[in-house]
Amino acid sequence: MTGLQPSREIFITCAVTGAGNTTGRSDKVPITPQQIADSCITSAKAGAAIVHIHVRDPKTGAPARDPALYEEVINIIRESKVDMVLNFTAGMGGDMVFGSAEEPLPLNDEGTDMAGATERLAHVRNLLPEICTIDCGTMNFGEGDYVMTNTPSILREMSKQVQALGVRPEIECFDTGHLQLAMWLKENGWIDDPVMIQLCMGIPWGSPDDLHTMMAMTANVPNDWTFSTFSIGRNQLPYVAMAILAGGNVRVGLEDNIYLKKGVLATNEDLVKRAVQITEGMGVKVLSPAEVREKMQLQKRWG
């Protein structure tokens, strides 16, 4: 287990848009493939080695999982010749919204999007990013009746398919039990070394983002695994320093936080630049995309 040894070098991931209703609160959240790609490019130039990519309906801004939208984003990034590690979400398609408190069934069609493992990985299979995220668990997610849904059998099948593609999974853990699921996947040989996980803190009703909970999570990460950790909202930037002190890597971006400081809306580039400033101010090296590929044994297929 890790034991809180500070990192001496880290990589920064920028989660550029996500699937939440941040578009209704900030006009800086990218929506179209062009906007998403441009935000990936500026974030990479600012110091993000990895860009974590969702796509949205270009007309409405609603979350989407159309492989054609991912392809548009990737083509623009490739044309730019700016180096970055590509990380696709595979979380879409596990969204269940129940009916009312008295009549939970039938499910609410608005927001419910349940798909099988193979369908959820269509964009990964078609475009072969270096990394894709797998949400490791099921949980109430924020207010209302939305449940993020990832059963053990779905997780097993998604992990096996990603493994066969030669794509590195980044296992996203939103609570302590999710970390145990990640260990189960590894113990059964469905994910390979080096294991890469993301500790997602502060999301109701997962692990809160207080220091003691973060320490409990990081203390149970096997010492040969590579982890990043982040918090949503106002604690995103303080979590840059906390992640480093805990021995992990850093994630920032508009998926999780739309402010640079109170009352000041951020761009992804702003958040990455601030993360670099905090990291270098602590005497820690920020890794390049090439260095991350070597560290995490990633298969670069473009550029």
CA dihedral 146, 147, 149, 152 (to 10 degrees): 180
User: What is the Cα Rg of the chain in Å?
Assistant: 18
Residues 201, 213: Cα–Cα separation, whole Å: 9
Residues 6+ apart with CB under 8 A from 177: 137
pLDDT above 70 as % of the chain: 98
What is the pLDDT, as a whole number, of residue 141? Answer: 86
Residues 192, 194: Cα–Cα separation, whole Å: 6
- The pLDDT tens digits of the residues spanning 38-86 come to 999 999 999 999 999 999 999 999 999 999 999 999 999 999 999 999 9
pLDDT above 90 as % of the chain: 92
Count of other CB atoms within 10 angstroms of residue 193: 11
Q: Is the pLDDT of residue 2 over 70?
A: no
What is the pLDDT, as a whole number, of residue 303? Answer: 56
What is the pLDDT, as a whole number, of residue 302? Answer: 66
For 111-136, what is the mean pLDDT? 96
pTM of the model: 0.95
For 19-40, what is the mean pLDDT? 96
What is the pLDDT, as a whole number, of residue 1? Answer: 42
Residues 230, 245: Cα–Cα separation, whole Å: 13
Residues 195, 79: Cα–Cα separation, whole Å: 31
For 297-303, what is the mean pLDDT? 79
What is the pLDDT, as a whole number, of residue 299? Answer: 85
- The pLDDT tens digits of the residues spanning 210-227 come to 999 999 999 999 999 999
Q: Do the Cβ atoms of 185 and 152 come closer than 8 Å? A: no
Q: How far is CA 296 from CA 167, 174, 193, 196, in A?
A: 11, 22, 9, 8
SS3 content of the chain, % helix, strand, coil (to 5): 35, 20, 45
Average pLDDT score over the chain: 95
Closest among 74, 191, 190 to 126, alpha carbons compared: 74
What is the pLDDT, as a whole number, of residue 97? Answer: 94
DSSP reduced 3-state for 109: coil
Count of other CB atoms within 10 angstroms of residue 50: 30
- The pLDDT tens digits of the residues spanning 155-203 come to 999 999 999 999 999 999 999 999 999 999 999 999 999 999 999 999 9
Bridge-based pairing state of the strands 168-173 and 131-135? parallel
**Architecture of the structural domain at 9-296:** Alpha-Beta Barrel (3.20)
The neighbouring-strand residues paired with 196 are 170, 226
Residue ranges in the chain assigned as alpha helix (H) = 33-46, 67-80, 117-120, 122-127, 152-165, 176-187, 211-219, 238-245, 268-281, 289-296
What is the pLDDT, as a whole number, of residue 159? Answer: 98
Closest among 210, 158, 147 to 182, alpha carbons compared: 158
Q: Is the pLDDT of residue 153 over 60?
A: yes
Residues 6+ apart with CB under 8 A from 219: 1, 2, 3, 4
What is the pLDDT, as a whole number, of residue 260? Answer: 96
What is the pLDDT, as a whole number, of residue 284? Answer: 98
